Amino acid sequence: MFIAQAFKFKHDLWRYIIGVIIVIAGVFIGQIPLTVALFMEIGVEEAVTLTEGQMMTALDSNYFLFLMLLSFAVALVFLFVAVKNVHKQTLVSLTTSREKIDWGRFWFAFGLVSIFIVLTTIGDYYSNPQDYQWNFDLIPFLILFVIAVVMVPLQTSFEEYFFRAYLMQGIGVLSRNRWLPLIITSVVFGGLHFFNPEVTKLGNIIMIYYIGTGFMLGIMALMDEGIELSLGFHAANNLLTALLVTADWTAFQTNSIFKDISEPSAGWDVLIPVLIIYPLFLFIMAKKYKWTDWKGKLFGKVEKPEPVHNDDFIY
């Protein structure tokens, strides 16, 4: 069982508190290069008063994207250091309940989401051409492509390993149930997006989408007993979004192929993914990987495994 694997390693509450502190320190250290770049570009007094949206326009978009994603990459390293040194836990056990990481699951989710995003983007472009502006510029796009392919998976991997793995396992072994880590990690994950520019533009209703995304990824991890699917899903979603479509009011303002110039509004666009598209993704994955016992895996108890006795040895 994915959560119960944490029992095999050092799982005291104080260790998780130290681990979270280490990760937060990694985030702040990772933000130093971006802060320094802003200070050098526009000065300290001006930089400290900028909103996130203004920061995006203060630097070249590719340069800003790289520096922004760098903080997640550094935080990922700090998280792995905490897992190895504070908990004495292996990366495989943090990732999956299987004997080794199933990259086939990662690529299935990545491909499924990629196909969906490409088809829906093309469909919307031809249905509403007035909402799009051709934004393609070869050299900036190629630079964006390299940055995105390398750095976006590090950003999404940090979020999945921290929320769907580290905190999911930690809260699960401490609370001895599955529903509490699902709720806490999903709400906190969605809540941290409250400071995104999209919230300012669309209003608080967009938080339904972010928190709903957290629940969908959490359900994926619990039902599949590992985070390979959520790793692939999240990586594809953010990568394709960065490469295909940008807008002046999104967290990723990039040299993408298209630019959305429509006036955004939050309504059914927020509810459709949560109520229709996400359940469809879960249905497809459930059929492919033969998920069963939904009640037990989402709401059941987390039992500490009994030691295995073999002659004079106890495992």
- The mean pLDDT value for 162-168 works out to 98
Q: If pLDDT is split at 50, 70 and 90, which confidence band does 263 have?
A: confident
Does the pLDDT at position 26 exceed 80? yes
Please give the pLDDT value at position 252: 78
Does the pLDDT at position 61 exceed 60? yes
- The mean pLDDT value for 67-75 works out to 96
State which residues form the domain around 19: 3-314
Please give the pLDDT value at position 305: 79
Please state, in angstroms and rounded to a whole number, the distance separating the CA atoms of residues 112 and 157: 18
Q: Which helix (H) or strand (E) holds 217?
A: helix 207-224
Q: If pLDDT is split at 50, 70 and 90, which confidence band does 44 have?
A: low
* Least confident span in 53-57, 207-211, 260-264: 53-57
Please give the pLDDT value at position 50: 61
The position carrying tokens 């792995």 is 80
Please state, in angstroms and rounded to a whole number, the distance separating the CA atoms of residues 299 and 276: 22
Residues 11/172, Cβ–Cβ less than 8 Å: no
The encoded tokens of residue 163 equal 């929320």
Would strands 245-246 and 258-260 be described as parallel, antiparallel, or unpaired? parallel
Please give the pLDDT value at position 315: 40
Please state, in angstroms and rounded to a whole number, the distance separating the CA atoms of residues 29 and 42: 21
Of the candidates 190, 187, 182, the residue with the CA atom closest to the CA atom of residue 165 = 182
Q: If pLDDT is split at 50, 70 and 90, which confidence band does 304 have?
A: confident
Q: Which helix (H) or strand (E) holds 314?
A: strand 313-314
Instruction: Count how many Cα atoms sit within 13 Å of the Cα of residue 41 in the half-sphere of its side chain.
Output: 18
Please state, in angstroms and rounded to a whole number, the distance separating the CA atoms of residues 146 and 139: 11
The DSSP secondary-structure symbol of 96 reads B
CA 137 and chain centroid, separation: 28
SS3 291: coil
Please give the pLDDT value at position 52: 61
Output phi, psi for 87, to 5 deg: -105, -10
* Least confident span in 45-49, 197-201, 236-240, 252-256: 45-49
The encoded tokens of residue 78 equal 């700090």
β-bridge partners, 246: 259
Residues 231/160, Cβ–Cβ less than 8 Å: yes
* Least confident span in 40-44, 76-80, 101-105, 247-251: 40-44
Q: If pLDDT is split at 50, 70 and 90, which confidence band does 312 have?
A: very low
Please state, in angstroms and rounded to a whole number, the distance separating the CA atoms of residues 256 and 254: 5
Average pLDDT, the chain: 91
Q: Which residue has the higher pLDDT, 190 or 310?
A: 190
Please give the pLDDT value at position 47: 59
Does the pLDDT at position 49 exceed 80? no
SS3 13: helix
pLDDT digits (tens, 9 = 90+) for 207-260: 999 999 999 999 999 999 999 999 999 999 999 999 999 988 887 789 999 999
Q: If pLDDT is split at 50, 70 and 90, which confidence band does 196 have?
A: confident
Q: With the C-alpha atoms ordered 285, 290, 294, 297, is the resulting torsion angle positive or negative? A: negative
* Least confident span in 178-182, 253-257, 292-296: 253-257
Please give the pLDDT value at position 200: 78
The DSSP secondary-structure symbol of 5 reads G
Domain count along the chain: 1
The position carrying tokens 């130093």 is 32
Please state, in angstroms and rounded to a whole number, the distance separating the CA atoms of residues 242 and 250: 10
pLDDT digits (tens, 9 = 90+) for 97-148: 999 999 999 999 999 999 999 999 999 999 999 999 999 999 999 999 999 9
Please give the pLDDT value at position 15: 97
Going by C-beta distance under 8 Å and a sequence separation of 6 or more, which residues neighbour residue 212? 190, 273, 274, 278
Tell me which amino acid residue 275 is. Answer: L
Please state, in angstroms and rounded to a whole number, the distance separating the CA atoms of residues 298 and 178: 6
Residues 38/47, Cβ–Cβ less than 8 Å: yes
Please state, in angstroms and rounded to a whole number, the distance separating the CA atoms of residues 35 and 39: 6
Q: If pLDDT is split at 50, 70 and 90, which confidence band does 300 have?
A: very high
Would strands 258-260 and 132-134 be described as parallel, antiparallel, or unpaired? antiparallel
